[in-house]
Amino acid sequence: MGRSGAVTFKGTPLTLAGKALAVGDAAPDFKLHYYKDGLKELTLADLKGKPTLLSVVPSLDTPVCAIQTKKFNESVAALGDKINAVTVSLDLPFAQARFCGAEGITNMRVGSDYQDRNFGNSYGTLIEELKILSRAIFVLDGAGKVAYVEYVPEVASEPNYEPALAAVKSLA
């Protein structure tokens, strides 16, 4: 069930797999991978109990994705361990770890959807034509309900940071 024309990339309409999530929906489960002293898994259950900011990007090795990750990393620093903050992409876990080390990303975790794209399909962010994730922001409450969502209409554009940060701060 794709959503034709749901986003554009440099003006070209593209199809997002799955359905769009809305405020009030139960967040779908997922299994992401990250690298820290070996490959490890991150699931929705690991994040429950605290508000969560999920920042979804096509690839950390692109300028807008790097800006987005750095901006959220800076912005959530003051919240400390009151929230979870995760950047999700299809980059390999090793590349994500390298990026975070090189860029000083210490307040955001990273999770890779590279194995089966279960996150992209269930959160409605997988671009069918390109097989990468579109740019999106999700804020989940501590019980795993969607409290804020933004599917950025133009993949090459930055998200609307302030409403997402306001949503996660109001839950912290």
CA 132 – CA 104 distance, rounded (Å): 25
How many CB atoms neighbour CB 35 within 10 A? 17
**Residue 61 identity (one-letter amino acid):** D
Phi, psi for 73 (deg, rounded to 5) = -55, -45
DSSP states of 30-65 as a string?
-EEEEESSSEEEEEHHHHTTS-EEEEE-S-TTSHHH
**Which three-class secondary structure state does DSSP give residue 161?**
helix
Residues forming the active site:
65
Angle at 144 between CA 37 and CA 164, to 5 degrees: 85
Biggest alpha carbon–alpha carbon distance for the chain: 41
The residue behind tokens 């133009």 is 154
Closest C-alpha among 114, 155, 162 to residue 15: 155
